[in-house]
Amino acid sequence: MTPPPEPTMYADISQLVAQNQLSSLHLQGTDAWSRVWSTLRTKSDSGPQIKLIEITTNVVTPELFAYLSSYSGIEKLSLLHPDGGSREKSDRLANTFFETVLPLHATSLVELSCPAGYESRFSFGTHNVHVISLLHKLESLEMSINAGAVREVDKPDVWIDEDGTEIPIFSIGVSVEAEQAEIDPVVTLLLETAATLPFLRSLAINSAETESNRGAWCGNGRIHHTGAVDAAIEKAMQAFRCDVPCSTIVRAGNHTYELQPLSGDGSAKECHSDADPEMLGYQQR
């Protein structure tokens, strides 16, 4: 059976983009819009290939990475929850991104956002820390973390408010808890890496959705995965200790943190510019 012809609008808009000397592009749509990346990669008769310095897109495909691999110099790159449709395909895309694409732009990137749509190698870990460490001009970074194992926990029946009143809780789905021992080393590695990037001022740590929730809806076996992982990330943040100052503001879960000197009991204390080096920890702002 012959596939239906591609809508002409894809070709029309691709040509429109290519004919204008753009420096930035925000593109959202289906994978069919990959035609735009292929067009940008091709040199036109009227001039050289367009080399964008800013891209925001959810059309994260091999065509995008082929385009980004054709030049260097991008400054702001935001991949909106990159996802290949399965763990295997997402991992292949991520491998291309970190091994082939990102090193080409390591000396120019100032903003990078690539939190995974579902758990995959797009998330931060030992497999890509060496590449992230190369981004010495980076000022803003947003990445996700994979949870690994989670375990089911009993759902609370009531919530007690400040006045001691018991309020019944009716929840849908499966309540889980992330394995803290698997989250702690990844968060620690990310925070330590952030401290080595001299211009980094903003770091966002997200939880990646579990592959088992793909296609699942409330009441259809969906587990409360990201909330459990967010809670574990925040626990790891609060447990982190170091003796190297870092001005990066970190957003994790529902809170924002900054590194502050700690008193003997682990709480924040007033910081004096002439104080001797001491133990530091992330505290909520």
Local confidence band at 275 (pLDDT 50, 70, 90 cut-offs): very low
pLDDT reading at 158 higher than 90: no
**Residue 41: predicted pLDDT:** 84
**Residue 148: predicted pLDDT:** 66
**Residue 62: predicted pLDDT:** 97
pLDDT reading at 169 higher than 70: no
**Residue 210: predicted pLDDT:** 87
Rounded CA separation 197/256 (Å): 19
pLDDT reading at 102 higher than 90: yes
Rounded CA separation 154/177 (Å): 10
pLDDT digits (tens, 9 = 90+) for 215-267: 776 554 566 778 889 999 999 999 999 998 899 999 998 899 999 998 755 55
Averaged over 88-109, what is the pLDDT? Answer: 98
pLDDT digits (tens, 9 = 90+) for 36-89: 898 888 764 456 778 999 999 999 999 999 999 999 999 999 999 999 999 999
**Residue 211: predicted pLDDT:** 87
Local confidence band at 272 (pLDDT 50, 70, 90 cut-offs): very low
